[in-house]
Amino acid sequence: MKRISYAIYCALFCFGIMSMSQLWAAEEGASKKSMELKQVKGEEGKVSTANVFNRLLKKDKARNLPPPEDGVHDADNEGTHVLQPPLIAYEGLPKTDFGNYVDWVQALQKGYLNPRYDRVDPTVEPLVMDLDIVREVKASVPDVVFPHKPHTQWLHCSNCHPAIFIPQKNANQINMSAILLGQKCGVCHGKVSFPITTLSCKKCHSKPKPDNWKPPLSSASVKNPWR
């Protein structure tokens, strides 16, 4: 009885050591950086090792990884190796700098793709409506143009109306916080349609402000007696 429990303890210990070494391997890169930093000495002494260059920024190591390497699919599952790697499918499609790195709107409009609008009948044509809705933005960024055309090429009116948007100009209160929280435009943008990043702002914010436009002054600034 005691031997068995001792064996279990040993096994646990080994597992601990193994995980520990894995941990060291994983942290190696980080510790290398802090080693370098420790050697940086000023006249008065050492500098804090907290001063790494990027504390928070994480960059993608690679784009469009094949399923077995993407960190979500299990490489031990044989089916995973039958799945198609995205880069093979994306060959020849117009590119962007975010999301799937594919410009899905151009891919459709230039005829590279013609996804079905009906589950079984490939000849059904989508119900497309070409109506742009301009929404003036109170901030200095260009105004938002919501184009119905690319949306109705992919979606049905009922996907948006009335659950997400009341179909009436300016009847909906929209702001960036709501979008980032996954409401309004953020129901799709940031999840499946193109994401919200510095490189994509101008896809929505596409109508330049009039030349004489100036940002409104905040009341704290207007009231400031020292101004």
Partner 1 sequence: MNNIKGYVSRWRVAFAAIVACLAVVLIPQSSTAEYADVVINNYADAAGMRPAVFPHWYHRIRFRCKVCHADLGFKFKAGGNKITMAKIIDGQFCGACHNGEISWSVENCGMCHSGIPGTPTSIHGSTIQRLVAPTYKSLPSDTKK
Question: By rule CB under 8 A, what count of residues binds partner 1?
Answer: 75
What is the footprint of ligand HEC within residues 72-91 (CB under 6 A)? 83-84
Which of 16, 208 has the CB closer to partner 1?
Answer: 16
- Interface pick for partner 1 out of 143, 153, 184, 185 (rule CB under 8 A): 153
Q: Is 146 in the site for partner 1 (CB under 8 A)?
A: no
Q: Choose among ligand HEC, partner 1, none what residue 201 binds, the Cβ cut-off being 5 to 8 Å by kind.
A: ligand HEC
Alpha carbon 108 to chain centroid, angstroms: 21
Tell me the closest approach of the beta carbon of residue 50 to ligand HEC, in angstroms: 28
**Is residue 34 helix, strand or coil?**
helix
**Is residue 108 helix, strand or coil?**
helix
Q: Choose among partner 1, ligand HEC, none what residue 203 binds, the Cβ cut-off being 5 to 8 Å by kind.
A: ligand HEC
Phi-psi region of 105 (alpha: psi -120 to 50; beta: other; left: phi over 0): alpha
Q: Is 101 in the site for ligand HEC (CB under 6 A)?
A: no
Contact 217, 157 (CB under 8 A): no
Phi-psi region of 156 (alpha: psi -120 to 50; beta: other; left: phi over 0): beta
Structure tokens at 195: 């994401």
Q: CA 142, 146, 147 angle in degrees (round to 5)? A: 125
Q: Choose among partner 1, ligand HEC, none what residue 12 binds, the Cβ cut-off being 5 to 8 Å by kind.
A: partner 1
Q: Choose among ligand HEC, partner 1, none what residue 15 binds, the Cβ cut-off being 5 to 8 Å by kind.
A: partner 1
DSSP codes joined into one string, 181-222:
TT-GGGGTBTTTB---STTTHHHHEEEPPPTT--PPPPHHHH
Tell me the closest approach of the beta carbon of residue 87 to partner 1, in angstroms: 10
Stretch that binds ligand HEC, among 15-23, 24-32, 146-154, 215-223 (CB under 6 A): 146-154
In angstroms, what CA-CA distances link 173 with 75, 115, 160, 165, 168? 45, 33, 15, 9, 11
SS (H, E, C) 148-170: HHHHHHHCCHHHHCCCCCCCCCC
Which of 37, 144 has the CB closer to ligand HEC?
Answer: 144
**Interface positions with ligand HEC (CB under 6 A):** 83-84, 104-105, 119, 127, 129, 133, 135, 137-139, 141, 144, 146-148, 150-152, 154-155, 157, 159-161, 164-165, 167-172, 174-177, 179, 184-185, 187-189, 191-194, 196-198, 200-201, 203-205
